[in-house]
Chains A and B, each alone.
Chain A
Amino acid sequence: MSSTTATAGAVAQARRTSLHRQRAWTLKASYAVLTLMVVFFLVPPFYMVMTSLKSSAEISAQQGNPWIVQHPTLANFAELIANSNFQTFFVNSVIVTVLVVVISMSISVLAAFSLTRMGFWGSQTLATGVFLTYLIPASLLFIPLFQIIGKLGLINSFWCLVLLYPTLAVPFCTWIMIGYFSSIPRELDEAALIDGAGYMQMLLRIFIPVAMPGIIAATIFAFTASWGAFLYPLAYLYTTDQMVLTVGIVSDLIRGDVFQWGKIMAGCVLAAVPPVLIYAFLMDYYIAGLTAGATKG
């Protein structure tokens, strides 16, 4: 009896050791891959920050290690911030992006709620259709859109971007929100209906607070799509007063074959600040499991 027990114990021990070894190897491999990815993604921003801290002379000297700053300076930042063109680009970008996020999220949340919860005829097909529109590449649309924008008299006005970007952001944001709203238990709607809520009250007082992680995810997408877009401002805007950051930095700081690398990189660092802040701020709220406790978990 005791020898049987001892053998069983040894087998269990061996299995545990084997599992432990497998887990250790999996963890090592995961860390290695993650480290590679972190390096891969962080090298460009690191190089951008390093270059932004160099003087034009140091950049053009091309001596020493290019990854290290010999004589750090904030001159590029100071000159750029004082530059009225850069200020205009920045303000234009902020206006366009804020409006695009507000418009896109308003449409997406309302569309997703009606598609998932109001159960009207054809809602399933419409939901699929919304996603399919996202699959059309933006680069295919800019010529027909150019004609539309032209007819509306909005060529070389950043208001055209306020009109156009939601057409890119809304389908995907709606898709994200459809997924989130679908995950909210149907009993919550029914409880709200019985409690006396109408559809709008249900949306505002139940769905939006409960689906906040989804709304934040969609907001981040809409923000990124608008803030970082390059093609449409390049095609539709050409004067400095209407320009946004992405195209403005390039067009203003590259004259002929003269590249003001220090200022370009400083501009990129400054342009990256709002997205980084927004990501950092919203991530605190972007927590999974906000529906915990609503139903049997």
Chain B
Amino acid sequence: MAQVSIRKVVKAYEGNVQAVKGIDLEIADEEFVVLVGPSGCGKSTTLRMVAGLEEITSGEIWIGGDVVNDVPPRDRDIAMVFQNYALYPHMSVFDNMAFGLKLRKFPKDEIKRRVDEAARILDIQALLERKPKALSGGQRQRVAMGRAIVRNPKVFLFDEPLSNLDAKLRVQMRTEIKKVHQTIPTTTVYVTHDQVEAMTLADRVVVMNHGVIEQVGPPQELYHNPATRFVAGFIGSPAMNFLPVRVLDDGGLKVELANGVKLAVPPQRVDRYGPYKGRQMTLGLRPEHLTEIRDTEKPNVVRIDCMVDVVEPMGMETLVHFFIDGEPVCARIDPVTHSAPNEVLPLAADLNNMHLIDNESGKVV
């Protein structure tokens, strides 16, 4: 059993610059949690504090029921996979994987059994005698994972392990990591700036920004019910569209775009948005909720005509970029729908999936 608890943890550097500003996070046993956020948000610092590679300014970190604030990394029973692999260049793959076990004075046959087992899981049996320089990027990352697996630790820590791989290999290794977690269910904390990795791997995603946790939740919840404008904009690719609106009562609750177009708020949301009447807010709408006109009869779907700026055919879909009163907007349309730059394209906005954001607090209401 290895729950990880992060309680009111602060990390401040010289000059009182706070990289992590008092975060709280409970990670259940065998859970796969992904910390995601932009550069400098404090996600790697948090991971390194869990690993014991950074001292904690204040707060407590618990691993498996023990406070580990003053426990050195080697005694925390954790294993870490680094972005740069961090393989020992003078050792063979076998020795790299066996190093931690040798230091812990495991018997030779046990070391061999564990390394062989990890190599089988990661499909690197044929590479055991090679040196890291004779391996490709993907193979090196597998070895780095193997080094973590053989230790059979309480917690796996991954620090952007796929960032150095090319796009195709990244997708492949992402699946491998998920498969390894399914094979060996171990508490895992994974750091990435790639929200696709976060969405695909995590049981729960932790979105961080400026040293605080913006939201914690399962990937689908974060995607469909973001708590803040930051999360709404960070999760999802292409990002959510944001348009300034005014909430008003004009024969029913409506939001008015800057160009004067009024969109009726769906009845199921009237109670929620009613208190914001008269306020300047931000309308959030994902690109997939701004599509070609399919079914005009569907309730709360309104037509918006746009002047196409850029068309990006993606194969299974086409992204259309345009502006509404100077604000960039992206729509996802069917690839068979004709669209070309500088042509008017009628689009359907599905307000059933709209989000309304309070400009002052940045919270989704």
Contacts and interface: CB of A to CB of B under 8 A. Distances in A.
B146 interface: no
Given A196-B100, A201-B103, A293-B140, A191 B89 contact: no
Interface string A286-297: 000111111110
Interface stretch (B63-71, B73-81, B114-122, B238-246): B73-81
Interface in B51-99: 51-53, 72-74, 78-80, 82-90, 99
A294 B78 contact: no
B359 interface: no
A188 B137 contact: no
A155 to B, nearest CB: 45
A70 B283 CA distance: 100
B85 A296 contact: yes
Interface string A15-52: 00000000000000000000000000000000000000
The contact size tier of chain A is 20 to 34
Given A193-B53, A193-B74, A294 B86 contact: yes
Contacts of A188: 86, 88
A293 B137 CA distance: 9
A293 B89 contact: yes
B82 A191 contact: yes
Nearest to B91: A209
B133 interface: yes
B132 interface: yes
A210 B104 CA distance: 22
Contacts of B83: 187, 296
A225 interface: no
B104 A196 contact: yes
Contacts of A292: 89, 132-133
Given A193-B73, A194-B51, A293-B133, A210 B103 contact: no
Nearest to A190: B53
The contact size tier of chain B is 20 to 34
Nearest to B87: A294
| Most chain A CB neighbours (cut-off 10 Å) among B79, B87, B131, B164 | B87
A195 interface: yes
Interface in A181-236: 185, 187-188, 190-198, 201, 205-206, 209-210
B289 interface: no
Contacts of B140: 293
Interface string A263-297: 00000000000000000000000000111111110
A194 B89 contact: no
B147 interface: yes
Contact of B86 (A185, A197, A201, A289): A185
A285 B152 CA distance: 37
Nearest to A291: B89
A283 B331 CA distance: 63
Contact of A185 (B51, B52, B84): B84
Given A201-B103, A294-B85, A191 B90 contact: no
Contacts of A209: 90
Contacts of B316: none
B17 interface: no
B133 A194 contact: no
A210 B82 contact: no
B210 to A, nearest CB: 25
Interface of A: 185, 187-188, 190-198, 201, 205-206, 209-210, 289-296
Interface of B: 51-53, 72-74, 78-80, 82-90, 99-100, 103-104, 131-135, 137, 140, 147, 151, 164
The list of the 6 closest CB pairs from A to B, nearest first, reads A293-B133, A293-B132, A187-B86, A195-B100, A295-B84, A294-B89
12 contacts: A185-B84, A187-B82, A190-B73, A191-B88, A192-B88, A193-B52, A193-B74, A195-B147, A201-B103, A205-B99, A293-B87, A296-B164
